[in-house]
Structure 1
């Protein structure tokens, strides 16, 4: 009988960047629009501010993710280079080190030694990267992928309140953008939670709470410092 399990951990890298980008796109753009609208700006200026926020935010997310994940990648490469040197200089000590790791996980000493020798015979660096350092193919840093994912999802997220703004000129703009953005955030949080295998309700509530707080604060700032204030 075949027993197949679908694990979620291989989605962590791209899911984190995608959710972060879309969430920031909705929250920052909706908050910016509400803040500017609360300051009695014209509809054209509100749209301009929202569009500028979309472009600036997408580039900021891409640059931030690229720099951050590149730093992680540099650290991984440095660790792998150090491990490669250790394997070249003293492979017997590295076998003992790997065997000790398996023993600490509950494997019998003799079996742990055999496993370490067999894995290292196949690919010594890969075995140490995975079990000693914690680097594997599914979680290794990918700067370009993270940058494009964040920028793309930020743009999608930011476009949602912008579309609502474009379609709702007048006195109902703030309410329309606020309510629709909270709904978008709830859907995003629920979808991200479902994809990651977490409770959907909790995922929806936490992103909605912080989004509502951000929009509320920017609305206050807009009313205090706006052209009508």
Structure 2
């Protein structure tokens, strides 16, 4: 029993670390979206005109629209997840009130499935039920911490901030640089930034660095090349 108890205490920090890493990974991906989206937009406009105003207007509009879209999408997604988790928690609480013996037997069966002997599973289930039956069930059955449900407003704000932080890089680069060099320098700056986000995302995911960096840099470069070509055609056509 002492080993099982200590294992439970050790699992909680690992779970918290995993949650923080997921948030960090989401932030890196959000920043990457901001970099690629706004870089493609401003490079395309800059290819069509040497005027700074249209580039700044388009880039700012893309930044704001992208941040709002990311925040709204994250808010809806997390709100749906939170509503589902609350419904599952309510259902579990109701079942514990109405069918405590059946729920205890279910808890025993789940511990047996994890490899405990029937005798040990009964002891563990009974002691955990006596301590906090609801916490015991939602932990092993649902994998939900009732005290750590994701806040949709926090998720929306984090997503928007991550997008803006990435989007500002190509926007500032192309607006502050002279017209003669702004596209080439912005292109290079964006690729370096994408290589950095690819490296970080690979490190967070524990995967190989180079495949992640190659994919993300290639995708970003392709996006800028395509929008640059579209901008050139639009500029020639006088659109």
Q: TM-score when scaled to structure 2?
A: 0.85
Measured at CA, do residues 72 and 97 of structure 1 come closer, stay the same or move farther in structure 2, by a change above 3 Å?
same
Corresponding residue for residue 83 of structure 1: 92
Cα deviation for residue 61 of structure 1 reads 1.1
Matched, 1:146 2:155: yes
* CA distance in 2 between partners of 1:77 and 1:221 (Å): 48
Q: Which residue of 2 aligns with 1:227?
A: 235
SS at structure 2 position matched to 1:227: helix
Partners of 1:136 and 1:13 in 2: how far apart?
Answer: 16
Cα RMSD of the aligned pairs, angstroms, is 2.3
Whether the 8 Å CA contact 1:18–1:149 is kept in 2: the answer is: yes
Instruction: List gaps (5 residues or longer) in structure 1.
Output: none
1: distance between equivalents of 2:116 and 2:210?
40
Matched, 1:205 2:199: no
Separation of aligned partners in 2, 1:74 and 1:27: 32
Take 2:107 and 2:232, find their aligned partners in 1: how far apart are those partners?
Answer: 62
For residues 4-44 of structure 1, what are the alpha-carbon distances to aligned partners after superposition, in whole Å with 9 as ceiling and x for unaligned? 99855232441243122201110100010111122235222
Per-residue CA distance 1:164-216 (angstroms, 9 max, x = gap):
11222313222221211111011112123334444333433332222222222
Residue 179 of structure 2 aligns to a residue whose secondary structure is coil
For normalisation by structure 1, the TM-score amounts to: 0.88
CA contact (8 A) 2:47 2:235 kept: no
Counterpart Cα distance in 2 of 1:49 and 1:61: 18
Q: How does 1:15-26 map to 2 (within 5 A)?
A: 15-26=24-35
Task: Work out which of the residue numbers 173, 197, 202 in structure 1 matches 2:182.
Answer: 173
Q: Does 1:96 align with 2:105?
A: yes
> 1:164 — aligned with what?
173
- For residues 135 and 12 of structure 1, the distance between their equivalents in structure 2, rounded to whole angstroms, comes to 17
Cα distance between partner residues in 1 of 2:156 and 2:22: 11
Give the Cα–Cα distance (whole angstroms) in 1 for the partners of residues 214 and 96 of structure 2.
Answer: 49
- Give, in angstroms, the shift of residue 137 of structure 1: 6.5
Q: Please, which moves more after superposition, 105-114 or 37-46?
A: 37-46
2:127 to 108, 111, 118: 118
Q: Secondary structure at the match of 1:228?
A: helix
Where does the alignment leave 5 or more consecutive residues of structure 2 unmatched?
1-9
Q: Deviations over 1:58-106 (max 9, x none)?
A: 1111111111111000000001011111000001111111111111111
Aligned residues between the structures: 225
Partner of 2:67: 58
State the distance in 1 between where 2:83 and 2:98 align: 23
Paired position in structure 1 for 2:6: none
